Chain A
C-alpha cells in the first residue's frame, strides 16, 4: 500500500540525512521525499511517499517518531488529503508540434513558462497520476527533459499538522 507520511522536524543541519538514513538502513521503500521550511523557520516539513505492508508502515512511523529532532508524524493517507506535485518539462516544439503541445498543455492546465524557436518549458502541477498522464499524452520523442519535485501533501478540512 502507498502511504503519504508528513513529518514536522527541527530545521537543523543533518535532519534530512537522519530521515533518509533511517529509510536506507532499515530497508524501507521511499518513492519520494520533499522537504522545506514551514512558515515557522525553525521547523521543516517533509512529505514522504512510501509503500509497504501495514506492519512496515507502522514501524516507519514509530521509527520516525524516535528520531530526536522529529516533532510530529502523521500518515496523511489514513484520511482525506490532497497531494500535489510540480513538474517542469522541456519539450522540442517545432512545426506542427508547437500548436499540439500548447493544446495538450492547456487541457492539463499547464503553463508554458519558457519559449525558444525550438523548445517550450511547461509547468504543470497536480497529483502524481495527472503528471504521469500528461507525460503519457505527449509524443515521448519530443520530451527533452523533465524534473519533478515529488509530492507535497496536506490533510483536508480540520486535519491540521502543526506544533
Chain B
C-alpha cells in the first residue's frame, strides 16, 4: 500500500517506539502534523519556542537511555532550534531532529521560510540529511536513529521538503542498517587493555577520572566495581556526576575549574591516571602545560579517537565502547594473581584525607541572608538525594553540582559543553515526561530562567509539576564573579535590573509561586513545594548577591592553583 511521506515519517517514529516528540508546527510540516493528529501512539508536546523543544527532547534522552526526538518547521523554526542542537552536540546527546523544508523545487529560490538547514546545522550535528525522494524517508530515519545512538552519540537531523511529505511510496522499515563508511567500534585493543591493567596494578597513587561517557553508556555499575577493586579515589566531571556514587568514601568530588581541592590535587599528583569517557576539557585540567609538569602514566578509554591525546598526551590509549572495555578490564583484574599495593594505597589515602580535611566546600552560613549553597544542601536533604535535578548556567549551576550529592547516573542534567543559559525549565519538562511521578527540581538563576520562562505555559498544559528553585542574586552572578576577580569590580551589564515578581509571574501562568527571603524559611518552603506533588512550584529564593563560587582555578592557571575562599584573593 502506498503511504504519503508524512505517514511514513510517523510510522518510522512508531517503529522506533518513540513515545514523545517535542515540537512546534509551521507551513513546511503541516502534513506531518496532520498525520500526528490521526494517531495516538506518538505523543506530541507543544512547546512555546523551538529552542525549548530541542532542550526537552535532549533531556528526555539524558534522563533515559533513549533517543530524544524533536520536530520543527523550516526557516525560523530551524534557526530557533540551532542553540538546542548545538547544546546536545557539545554534550554528545543522541537525538533525531526532523525539520520541514520548502518544496524541492523552491530550494535555492530564497523561498518563503527557506534556510539552508543542512548547511546551518552541519557544524553542530553528528550528521544530517536532506531527503530528496519519498522512498528515502524510511531508510534515512532508520540511519538517523542508528547514527545518533551508536559510537559517540550525538544529534542527527533529517530535513524533509514539503512535497516529499505529500508524495507516496511503499512503507518498509529497514530491520537493520549497514553503512560502509560508518562502523562504530566496540571492543578495545586487547594488548592495550592488558597494559592498562598492569599499570593499574603497579600504581602507588592511582586515580580514576570518569566523565559523561560513563553516563552515556550506562556503565556506572562497572565503573563502581572497578573503583572498589582498585581501592583508588574517583572523581567525576561535571558531565559525569552520578557515574560514581557521590556519598561513597572513595569519591573525592568533582574536579576542574570549580572542582574539589582533593580531586584536583589527586588528579595532579597521582602516578597512574585512568580516564574513562572524559575528554580532558579545558575547564577540567586547567593549563595543559602545568598539568604535564608532573610525570604520571595516563590510560584513556574513549570511543572517539579524536578525544584521545587532543589536549593531553596519553600513554595507553584505548579506543572502544566503555562497557565492553570495562568488562575486559574487570575480567583481567579478577583473573590476575596480583593485587593493588595495599601499603602504597594506604599512604595515598592518608594524603588524600589530609587534602579532604581542607573542607573546600565549607562556607559561612548566615541567619540573615540566604546563602545559595545552603538552599542546595537543603534541597538535597528534603529530596533525600533522590530527585532529578536540572540546572541552568552560572553560579547556581556550580553550586548545584557541588552541593547536591548525586548517587545515581542520569539524575543530573545541565549544559556542560556549550553552557547554554535557558536549558533549566525545558530540561525539566523532558525529564518529568520521561519519569512521571518522580520529583524534578530545576536549580536556576533569575538571569537564565528568563531565557525560556515562556515554557511555564507548556508546563501548565501538560501538568508538569516542576519544583523551580531560583537562586535569585539579582546578578548574572557568574559574570559578576569574573568581573570582581579580573576586571576590578567593574560590573559591566551584569546587574539584573527590573526583575519581575517571579512568584506572581508563576501564578499568572497558573502555577504556585513562593518568595523566600529568610534562611529560616528555606527548608519549609522546599518541603511545602515537594508536598504539592501535582503542582509546579516556583520558589524565588532571594539569595546573597555577593556570594562567589569556590574553589576556583582561574583561566590559564594550573589545576592545583586554587582560590579556596575570599581570603585567597
Which chain B residues border A21 with CB–CB below 8 Å?
Answer: 122-123
Is B49 in contact with chain A by the CB < 8 A criterion? no
- Contact status of A58 and B122, CB under 8 A, knowing A71-B180, A163-B180: no
Contact B181 A68 (CB under 8 A): yes
Give A10-50 as 1s and 0s: 1 = Cβ < 8 Å from B's Cβ atoms. Answer: 10011001100100010000000000000000000000000
When distances are taken between beta carbons in the complex, the residues of chain A under 8 Å from B119 are 17
Contact in complex: B123, A25 (CB < 8 Å): yes
| Interface membership of A62, Cβ < 8 A | yes
Docked Cα-Cα span, A17 to B304, in Å, equals 22
> B306 to A59, Cβ gap below 8 A?
yes
Are B181 and A70 in contact, CB atoms less than 8 angstroms apart?
A: yes
CB atoms of B122 and A62 under 8 A apart:
no
Instruction: Check A55 for interface membership: any CB of B closer than 8 A.
Output: yes
Interface string of B124-138 (1 = CB under 8 A from A): 001100100000000
**Other-chain residue from A25, A58, A59, A68 in contact with B182 (beta carbon distance below 8 A):** A68
Interface residue ranges of B105-134 to A (CB < 8 Å): 118-119, 122-123, 126-127, 130
Query: Is A18 in contact with B122, judged by CB distance below 8 angstroms?
Result: yes
Most B Cβ at <10 Å: residue of A55, A68, A163: A68
Chain B, residue nearest A68 (CB): B127
A-B contact count (CB 8 A): 35
Q: Is the CB of A65 within 8 A of B180?
A: no
Q: B-facing mask of A64-97, CB < 8 A → 1, else 0?
A: 0110111100000000000000000000000000
Complex: how many Å from CA A14 to CA B117? Answer: 12
Q: Using known A-B contacts A10-B181, A163-B180, determine if residue A68 contacts B126 with beta carbons closer than 8 Å.
A: yes
Pick the residue among B126, B127, B310 that contacts A59 (CB under 8 A): B310
Q: Is the CB of B181 within 8 A of A58?
A: no
Contact B180 A58 (CB under 8 A): no
CB neighbors of A among B300-337 (8 A): 304-306, 309-310
In the bound complex, what is the Cα–Cα distance between A62 and B309 (angstroms)?
11
User: How far does the Cβ of A141 sit from chain B's closest Cβ, in whole Å?
Assistant: 42
B304 lies within 8 A of A66 (CB): yes
Chain B residues within 8 Å of A149, by CB: none
CB distance from A26 to the nearest CB of B (A): 10
Interface membership of B147, Cβ < 8 A: yes
CB-CB < 8 A to A69: which residues of B? Answer: 181
Q: Does A63 contact B (CB under 8 A)?
A: yes
Q: Are B306 and A62 in contact (CB under 8 A)?
A: yes
Neighbouring B residues of A17 by C-beta, 8 Å: 119, 122
Residue among B122, B147, B179, B306 having the largest count of chain A Cβ atoms under 10 Å: B306
With A17-B122, A18-B122, A25-B123: A66-B180 Cβ-Cβ less than 8 Å: no
User: Are A71 and B122 closer than 8 Å at their CB atoms?
Assistant: no
Q: How many chain A residues touch B (Cβ–Cβ < 8 Å)?
A: 20
Question: In the bound complex, how far is the Cα of B181 from the Cα of A9, in angstroms?
Answer: 8
A residues less than 8 Å from B181 (CB atoms): 9-10, 68-71
Residues of A within 8 Å of B305, CB to CB, are 62, 65-66
CB-CB under 8 A from B122, the residues of chain A are 14, 17-18, 21
Specify the chain A residue showing the minimal Cβ separation from B124.
A25
Chain A residue numbers with a CB within 8 Å of B180 are 71, 163
Contact B147 A63 (CB under 8 A): no
Within 8 A of A (CB), among B236-272: none
Query: Which residues does chain A contribute within 8 Å of B304, judged by CB atoms?
Result: 66
CB distance from B312 to the nearest CB of A (A): 11
Q: Specify which chain B residues have a CB less than 8 angstroms from the CB of A65 in the assembled complex.
A: 305-306
A68 to B118: give the CA distance in the assembly, Å.
14
Residues 3-35 of B, flagged 1 when their CB comes within 8 A of A and 0 if not, give 000000000000000000000000000000000
Minimum CB distance partner of B313 in chain A: A55
Tell whether, in the assembled complex, residue A58 and residue B118 are in contact, meaning their CB atoms are under 8 Å apart.
Answer: no
CA distance A13 to B130 in the complex (A): 9
Which of B130, B147, B309, B310 interacts with A68 by CB under 8 Å? B147
Alpha-carbon distance between A59 and B310 when the two chains are bound, in angstroms: 7
Q: How far is the CA of A140 from the CA of B538 in the complex (A)?
A: 75
Minimum CB distance partner of B122 in chain A: A21
Docked complex Cα distance between A71 and B182 (Å) = 7
CA distance A18 to B122 in the complex (A): 7
Bound together, the chains give a CA A69 to CA B179 distance in angstroms of: 9
Residue of B nearest to A163 (CB): B180
**A69-B181, A71-B181, A163-B180 in contact; A58/B309 too (CB < 8 A)?**
yes
- Given A59-B306, A70-B181, A71-B180, are A14 and B118 also a contact pair (CB < 8 Å)? yes
Determine which residue in B122, B123, B181, B182 has the highest number of CB atoms from chain A within 10 A of its CB, and name it.
Answer: B181
- Complexed CA–CA distance, A38 and B304 (Å): 29
Given contact pairs A10-B181, A25-B123, A163-B180, A66 touches B306 in the complex (Cβ within 8 A):
yes
Question: Taking the nearest CB of chain A, how far is it from the CB of B213, in angstroms?
Answer: 15
A11 to chain B, nearest CB (A): 11
Nearest chain B residue, comparing its CB with the CB of A55: B309
Please name the 3 residue pairs, one residue from A and one from B, whose CB atoms are nearest each other, closest first.
Answer: A62-B306, A68-B127, A71-B181
Q: List 14 A-B contacts (CB under 8 A).
A: A10-B181, A13-B130, A14-B122, A17-B119, A18-B122, A21-B123, A55-B309, A58-B309, A65-B305, A65-B306, A66-B304, A68-B147, A68-B179, A70-B181
Binding site for A on B (CB under 8 A): 118-119, 122-123, 126-127, 130, 147, 179-182, 304-306, 309-310
